[in-house]
Amino acid sequence: MTEQKKTKESWIVEGEETFYKTYNRFPVVFERGQGLYLYDTEGEEYLDFYAGIAVNALGYGDPEYTEHIRAQAEKLLHVSNYFYNTPSIEAGKKLTAVSGMDKVFFTNSGTEAVEGAIKIARRYAYNKTGKQDHEIIAMKNSFHGRSTGALAVTGNDHYQEPFQPLMPGIRFAHFNDLDSVRDLFCEKTCGVILETIQGEGGIYPATREFLEGVRALCDQYDALLIFDEIQCGMGRTGEMFAWQHYGIKPDVMTVAKALGNGVPVGAFLACGPAASAMVPGDHGTTYGGNPFVCAAASKVLDIFQSRKLTAHVKEVGEYLWEQLEEIAGSYGEITGHRGMGLMQGLEFSVPVGRIVSNALLEQKLVLISAGTDIIRFVPPLVIEKEDVDEMVKRLTAAIVSGRSWN
């Protein structure tokens, strides 16, 4: 007797019964993906301009990537970091080469990479002074993760309030306001952490003057400059890392998301004196840097180079910018357009939840918001211009349909 296929509704009921309730999920159950499209349990096809929050840079089912991780799974999944393994060394060499950094530590996520970066800054200062009262300057409206350390440097009261008190010694400046950073600098400052392009905070690129000024302050006070490139890095802006547009190099950098194309891997990297700040015993991870995830990261880095993805992102990103500019000029609800490459946002005068929901459920277009009033466009980096055209058609239909918010 053939087993009856579960309905979407039954899957959702089971999920609600099983999962800890920290997400308000859309009523869609995805089952597989191919190329730029996701497919749900009902067989419906969705155009993905979300990429799992900027993770699936190569889209879904890329044959070269899939075959590589399949082969690694057959050889070796995990060994302890008390031993070397070949994929981690290969991935580490490639990542330091494209970033110009000196040392790398592989983590399981972006949040963990931020934790490591914070520890480098504090350890660096402790090595110099022997004191434990150092401060880190972070940015308001930022997002660095959900663990208590990463949350402490996330400049959003809504995320922080239920979990206070958090890590002490964090002071918040205003992004792109150099004076606000300068006012907080003192002899206790051991580091500044910022997103080169604020993501969750609304797709705000840093200005050149701001980054140059913060770099100069860090040099003056011998503090470490930390760039969070978890979302804006790995080719998303048309350079491998967003800071490369500015030519302003950090002492420490965090990456994740697209680094593994869906496999959970992140990293923090350091250069100069920061690269030797920590010593054996200062930091560790059980799973981070294991052969499987590093094989995935290594292949992603190879594909970026062989397919010249950063050049592709520049070309298609310009086209996406032109099309979103046209939309922004056509709808009075849209009040702003910002971003770089394939990390762009449209700001609305109304909450965008209804539009995002309509796009997903009615137009079969997967989008993500940033805050309450911005639609974020972070598609797979392999999209073509015709995919942008199809997205625009579905988005405009969702905007028109969503006008019933009033």
Residue 2 pLDDT grade (very low, low, confident, very high; cuts 50, 70, 90): low
Quick one: average pLDDT of 107-121?
A: 98
pLDDT at 76: 98
Quick one: average pLDDT of 89-115?
A: 98
Residue 406 pLDDT grade (very low, low, confident, very high; cuts 50, 70, 90): very low
pLDDT at 379: 98
pLDDT at 4: 74
Domains present along the chain, CATH in parentheses: 8-61+308-405 (3.90.1150.10), 76-306 (3.40.640.10)
* Distance set, CA 260 to CA 61, 73, 109 (Å): 13, 15, 10
pLDDT of 362 above 60: yes
pLDDT of 296 above 90: yes
Structure confidence by residue, pLDDT tens digits, 136-174: 999 999 999 999 999 999 999 999 999 999 999 999 999
Structure confidence by residue, pLDDT tens digits, 25-78: 999 999 999 999 999 999 999 999 999 999 999 999 999 999 999 999 999 999
Structure confidence by residue, pLDDT tens digits, 185-235: 999 999 999 999 999 999 999 999 999 999 999 999 999 999 999 999 999
pLDDT of 108 above 60: yes
Question: Does pTM surpass 0.75?
Answer: yes
Residue 403 pLDDT grade (very low, low, confident, very high; cuts 50, 70, 90): low
Residue 1 pLDDT grade (very low, low, confident, very high; cuts 50, 70, 90): very low
pLDDT at 5: 83
Mean pLDDT of the chain: 96
Structure confidence by residue, pLDDT tens digits, 260-272: 999 999 999 999 9
Residue 326 pLDDT grade (very low, low, confident, very high; cuts 50, 70, 90): very high
